[in-house]
Amino acid sequence: MNSPLGGTLPNPAPHTEPRLSPAVTHDAVVVVPGIMGSELHDTATDNVIWGLANPAWLAKAWLTREGLTPLQLTPAELAGDYSRVQAPRLLQTPAWSPFLRGIEPYHKLLRTIGNTVAHRDAIMTFPYDWRLPVAVNARRLAQEARDHLQRWLDHSAHADARRQAVDERPARLVFIAHSMGGLVTYAALTSGGDSDLPAGTRGVMTLGTPFLGSVVAANILNARQGGPLPLPHARLAAAAATMPAVHELLPRFLCVEDALDVRRLTPSDVAGLGGDKDLAKAAEDFFTTLYDQPLPHHRPVVGTRQNTVQSMKLIDGRVTASEYCFRTDTDGTVKRDAQGAPLRYQVWGDGTVHRESASHTRRTIPVFAQHGAVANGREARRVIADFLLEDDHLGPDQAEDGIGLDLPDYAPAGTPWDCVVTGTDDPSQVECTVAATDTDWETSVRLEASEDDQLGAKVTLPSPGLYRVTAKADYGPTVTQLVFSGTAGKDAPDD
């Protein structure tokens, strides 16, 4: 552009210079969502049985007698006939589930990836029936990823983008997998029936994947017979008891406190707390075989500094979960104090998956985010974009200081509940709001300092619906969590 003083000024948008190559990848990307991250359609009734996230649908699903019945696996499905339910697309609007603290759609993640690939046709999303065994979805993922790669290799945009690549190598696959999607990806690459797929894969990035399971899954199964809980939790427990996938999310690390011993959860324990012994044993056998092979080209992103259950006690068939875990020496010996009691450690996590379960390796990329929102977080999306561009920068070795949220997942309308922000006791540093996901209602939360390096406030939601709590500090990232509000009172009447 011309300068009033003569000559030219630098281009105000240097990235538009025609000689500057675009910052894009020529690889093919596959996005694999987590549990409850795909819409589900019942072909027998022609109804959407998961994915219409509005207050009326959520209330029907969680607060009526038959609301979740379509999600339960039928005898035919348990026998291997999976034709009844199809997964047409990824979740489009926010959803909610007890214990999982809300599930955000993947719009921001897909926009980030769309801005980083050579052409939108290089992106494949993989919606799947998240109720089914990981191995079933893994075999389909392996085939569909192979087909996607071949379509992209034949695409004219790939031919153009490939010329910018080092040595003009042909495209390979990059998997971006959230939560249980990381387990599906792991199985697809190691036992999905395509032995050449790892060679066609450049990298796998997992986001909050419970490689060693989560105590939250035990809480889900135990809700029918555990301590007093709101009605939605019991509804989920009844459906989850039929789901192989939920049993595959059970913890597979030392997590059960038994007097002065610490042990792993057994299939008999699972039956006692409300699950299915056979499904638990099948899950145990599956992972024993799966983890004989390493996940190739893996980069794990883990959530941290969010209060997360990491261990449990089983008392008369009831799960009592705790926010601490145990450690062992390399020979498997549990670390103990001078009196012989197991030492307890706080390692946090993303509110659902504790940090040590989210990776098989010590090298991780930590971010401050709740489990259901980690894939959409700014920090994770920046890391994903770098990963797609094959940047050497893999994110910080340790996360900067940040805040966390500790909220109930279910809050009856009109009933006060505790909104807790962890990581600071200075209310001047944090801005906190609560907003409805489907209306313009929003309110600021006036936080006050409490003990234990926390801030807290009482919040009352005006009506049933789905709400997003957002906490933003003067430093570090913003954290969010979804809270579902139902009819006031412990239980809501059935229709």
Within a domain: 328: no
Q: Is 336 strand, coil or helix?
A: strand
What's the CA gap between 196 and 194, in Å, rounded?
Answer: 5
Asked whether residue 324 is domain-assigned, the answer is: no
Report how far residue 33's alpha carbon sits from residue 81's, in angstroms, rounded to the nearest whole number.
23
* Residue 127: both structure tokens together: 């919606």
Structural domain includes residue 262: no
CATH number of domain containing 451: 2.60.40.730
Residues (pLDDT < 70) of the chain are: 1-20, 53-55, 224-230, 390-401, 488-495
Host domain of residue 149: 22-207
287, part of any domain: no
Locate 250 and state its tokens.
Answer: 């059970």
Q: What's 194's domain CATH number?
A: 3.40.50
Nearest to 373 by CA among 276, 494, 469, 472: 469
* Residue where the block lists tokens 């607060």: 63
Question: Position 260: which residue type?
Answer: L
Domain boundary among 207, 224, 240: 207
Q: Which amino acid is at 297?
A: H
Phi, psi of 235 (to 5 degrees): -60, -45
CB 402 within 8 A of CB 305: yes
- The total of structural domains in the chain comes to 2
Examine the fold and report which residue of 160, 187, 207 is the final residue of a domain before the chain moves on.
Answer: 207
CB 67 within 8 A of CB 492: no
* Residue 156 within a domain: yes
Q: Which residues contact residue 426 at a Cβ distance below 8 angstroms, ignoring those fewer than 6 apart?
A: 449, 455
Q: Considering the domain boundaries, does residue 105 fall inside one?
A: yes
Domain boundary among 207, 234, 263: 207
User: How many CA atoms does the CB half-sphere of 328 hold within 13 Å?
Assistant: 13
- What's the token pair of residue 313? 């006690």
| Domain-embedded: residue 350 | no
pLDDT at 67: 86
Q: What is the predicted pLDDT for the residue at 429?
A: 86
A 10 A CB-CB count for 388 gives 24
End-to-end CA, the chain:
69
Q: For residue 463, is it within any domain?
A: yes
